[in-house]
Every structure is written in structure tokens, then in C-alpha cells.
Structure 1
């Protein structure tokens, strides 16, 4: 899964229009980023990429690019 595909998966998970997220967004500015979204993100990474995101690292994420980094996806386009 590449950056674009993962961003589209995040759009879908957060019920945003496809192509909404670019990576630079602050998580605090995304209305749909809540505790359910956190669990969904962890499940998405596990299902699509086969690895576990550590909770201690996830709570430090501030941007969508941070999430991409936690998922092991390059943050540069």
C-alpha cells in the first residue's frame, strides 16, 4: 500500500470525501478524529500492513503525516 492508497483509506475510515487528506492536516482539526477513529486506525494498519501501532507512539501523533510514519509509509509524496 502506498501513500496515496493509505490516505484514501484514511479518508474512507473518517468518512471524508476521497482525496480530502493530504498529510499536512493537524489531527485536532479533523472532527472525525476521535477514540473510535484511533481504534479504526490501529485496525487499518494491522489489516492492510500487518503490523501493530504502539499506543505510546500513537498518542504523540499530531498530524496525518505522523500517522503515515507510524504506519511505515513514507511521508514525502
Structure 2
């Protein structure tokens, strides 16, 4: 997840050290552009495609991680 956290931090324009499972996405630049960028990052790192509407409902980073695990199954 380290690579994912670093890439997500870049998208959200925050310090990578602040990204973790309990981080609230709404407190940062979690908008449609960030969602599309996150879909691309997840595809590149994990080789799975996430649904944009499901990703948009995520409140914490752990919610994104759960979507990734579900997509990998």
C-alpha cells in the first residue's frame, strides 16, 4: 500500500506521511478529478478497475482499500 499512499498523496496534494487507512478523504481535495486519478492509480498499481460511483462514496482511505480488495477477489 506504500506506493498507493504516495500516489494518493500526490493527487490530493498533501504530505504522504499523512495518508493512512483512517484518513478522511473529505478533509482533502477529494473531488471528481481526484476520483478519476485514483482509478488510474489503482489500475496501474493493482491491475484492477474500480467503479467511479463506488469510489465517490468512500469516506476514508480504508474504504478505498476495501474496494481494491473486493476487486482483486
Q: Normalised by the size of structure 2, how large is the TM-score?
A: 0.78
Please show how residues 7-22 of structure 1 align to structure 2 within 5 Å: 7-22=5-20
SS in structure 2 opposite 1:19? helix
Give the structure with the larger helix fraction: 2
Aligned to 2:52: 55
Unpaired runs of at least 5, structure 2: none
Compute the RMSD of aligned alpha carbons: 1.8
Q: Normalised by the size of structure 1, how large is the TM-score?
A: 0.74
Summarize deviations over 1:3-45 as a string: whole Å, max 9, x none. 2232122112222112111221222111x11111000000101
Does residue 23 of structure 2 align to residue 25 of structure 1? Answer: yes
How many positions carry a matched residue from both structures? 70
Unpaired runs of at least 5, structure 1: none
